[in-house]
Structure 1
Amino acid sequence: MREFDYRRADDVPGAVALLDADPDARYLGGGTNLVDLMKTGVERPARLVDVRRLPLDRIEPTGNGGLRIGATVTNSDLAAHPEVRRRYPALTEAVLAGASGQLRNMATVGGNLLQRTRCGYFADVTKPCNKRLPGSGCPAVEGEHHNHAVLGASEHCVAVHPSDMGVALTAFDAVVSYRTAHGPGELPLADFYLPVGDTPHRETALPRGALITGVTLPPVPSAVHSRYRKVRERASYAFAIGSVAAALDISNGVVREARLALGAVASRPWRAHAAERVLNGAPATADYFAAAADAELTAARPLPGNAYKVTLMRNLVVAVLSELAEEATR
């Protein structure tokens, strides 16, 4: 590990100033991803700016009926919050599906959104990787890619984003707040992650030096009837090979509003807009749920080793939507 300077920020402007003064610095929250990457040499910051003690650890209602979640709220506290559990149950389920209890106690909301892919080639500094070293290549295309992207990838990168929490936040149109040396700003989560294209090393639209200060959930009535389902290769402490965050508002057997986001299928949490268009105004039946999944997955471009994900995701979407529809009739 490279020797580094450590500073603890006392306030948000101070944290931003410390990073702005050193382009080779990184913010440190829970450290559950960054420290691992430092140990392997993927990340080599000259300075860590500890933001864990900043006053960004509260979950508060907004004036329009949503929730504002501070960036240093731990994953454990987010999942346990009564208003999150009541109004956005899929978010609670997504957070609890991630990592272990010990890691959730350390990991922060801001850090979760910025965690980096678990692609083995990215994590191994002896291998080429366009995300780590632009222009070096993507060996996953011809190599090990069973858990890689089937949507939105390019020849330059086929890695997937690992966040569970981000999938649920995407389904609910969350907005990310940040602060730079030039002042505050906001990014809808839909615009937060950049398409892969030919620049996979550019992962987010955050300005340089930006500190995430919070995430705002708008009021989403249908979120009360939501669910997160994660498929993984072992029962716990494993990243998804496919996941779904879904919410349905059903009246008289017809879908009034559908929200659907997919995880572990792309370089970012994937909002399933094509599927939602099929569902909205349609009968809440398994046939329409399957048609919605097919509409979304028609754009899939799997590699030889991960074609199974298309079938897996189709079945997962139908299963989750069917469970929500059944609950609506009780």
Structure 2
Amino acid sequence: MRPFTYVRAHEVGEAAGQPGKFLAGGTTLIDLMKLDVERPAQVTDITALPLAEIAEHGGGVRIGALATMAQVADHPLIAARYPALRNALLAGASQQIRNMASMGGNVMQRTRCPYFRDTSFMACNKREPGSGCGAIAGNHRKQAILGTSDACVALHPSDASVALVAYDATLTLRGPDGEREVSLQDFNLLPGQTPHLEHDLREGELITAINLPAPPAGSGVYLKVRDRESYEFALSSCAALLDVQGGVIRAARVVLGGVGTRPWRSP
């Protein structure tokens, strides 16, 4: 791990605009700093910010970005109205990680592609733009098959994001120029020729909340296929929301995970 400046923010306005990386649960950032993949000159600790509330909002539910995966999965509003999200959170990590990892960090987590995470592999456009993609000609098991380009086939790893996209979630972002809201589906960028640009997040912006609209009629489920049933990333997964009336599917939302460079909405 390389030297860095540590800053602790106590207000959202104080954090917005800070350079470098934001530290919440640290379950992704600290790992990547130890691997020398992430090399921030400054780390801003945002764990003291008042961004952990889970509450009804505008007919739906607003989840503070610092709410942990465990808090969201255990919350009665989520269990009752958004069962596919609860299932995805429970399937997405061990209890220990769910206790630490923040929801904002979960949607920001970076790929588990071994060519990205191991700096001894030189060819990784996501880590070193212009260096190539070792996975295309190398070991591409557990790589994406949808949304890829000739520059990158790295898989999007988040289970929760698959369910959140199915529920049409949006993100509230706060930066030096104020607040804005974007859909989670649009927030995750396709690799194209710029796979190092993963999110629609501007310099100094941070996620302050995840917004779930009122859930659609019907029920929802999250299914995940993996190498082992304990904590493991998906070989493939699906969040499916179905409105079934009289044995007939009236409406459906299907989002695929484990197969795309971002959660893949399948109309």
TM-score tier, shorter chain, comes to over 0.9
Q: CA deviation at 1:180?
A: 0.5
Q: CA deviation at 1:208?
A: 1.6
Flag the structure with higher helix content. Answer: 1
Structure 1's unaligned 5+ residue stretches are: 274-330
Residue 85 of structure 2: aligned partner: 91
Residue 40 of structure 2: aligned partner: 45
Residue 205 of structure 1: aligned partner: 200
AA in 1 matched with 2:98: R
User: For 1:5-24, what aligned pairs fall within 5 Å after superposition?
Assistant: 5-17=5-17, 19=18, 22=19
AA in 2 matched with 1:129: C
CA shift digits 1:98-125 (9 cap, x unpaired):
1211111000000001000000000011
3-state SS of paired residue (1:268): coil
Structure-2 separation of matches of 1:53 and 1:96: 25
3-state SS of paired residue (1:113): helix
3-state SS of paired residue (1:145): coil
3-state SS of paired residue (1:229): strand
Structure 2's unaligned 5+ residue stretches are: none
Residue 318 of structure 1: aligned partner: none
Number of matched pairs: 266
User: For 1:101-250, what aligned pairs fall within 5 Å after superposition?
Assistant: 101-127=95-121, 128-222=123-217, 225-250=219-244
Structure-2 separation of matches of 1:99 and 1:247: 22
* Alignment of 1:74 onto 2:60: no
Q: CA deviation at 1:207?
A: 1.5
Structure-1 separation of matches of 2:149 and 2:239: 24
Larger displacement relative to structure 2 (3-12 or 82-91): 3-12
Structure-1 separation of matches of 2:10 and 2:144: 40
AA in 2 matched with 1:204: H
AA in 1 matched with 2:25: G
Structure-1 separation of matches of 2:103 and 2:48: 14
Q: CA deviation at 1:253?
A: 2.0
Structure-1 separation of matches of 2:205 and 2:185: 18
* Alignment of 1:262 onto 2:256: yes
CA shift digits 1:239-264 (9 cap, x unpaired):
11100000100112221110110001
AA in 2 matched with 1:5: T
Structure-2 separation of matches of 1:13 and 1:191: 25
Structure-1 separation of matches of 2:74 and 2:247: 32
Q: CA deviation at 1:233?
A: 0.6
Q: CA deviation at 1:79?
A: 0.2
Q: TM-score, normalised by structure 2?
A: 0.98
Q: Superposition RMSD on alpha carbons, in Å?
A: 0.9
Structure-2 separation of matches of 1:32 and 1:190: 23
Structure-2 separation of matches of 1:208 and 1:129: 23
AA in 2 matched with 1:39: K
Runs of 4+ in 1 over 2 A off after TM superposition: none
CA shift digits 1:160-184 (9 cap, x unpaired):
1100000000001000001000000
Q: CA deviation at 1:228?
A: 0.4
Q: CA deviation at 1:221?
A: 2.8
Q: Tell me which of 54, 76, 84 is aligned to 1:59.
A: 54
3-state SS of paired residue (2:135): helix
AA in 2 matched with 1:207: R
Q: TM-score, normalised by structure 1?
A: 0.79
Structure-2 separation of matches of 1:204 and 1:51: 19
3-state SS of paired residue (1:27): strand
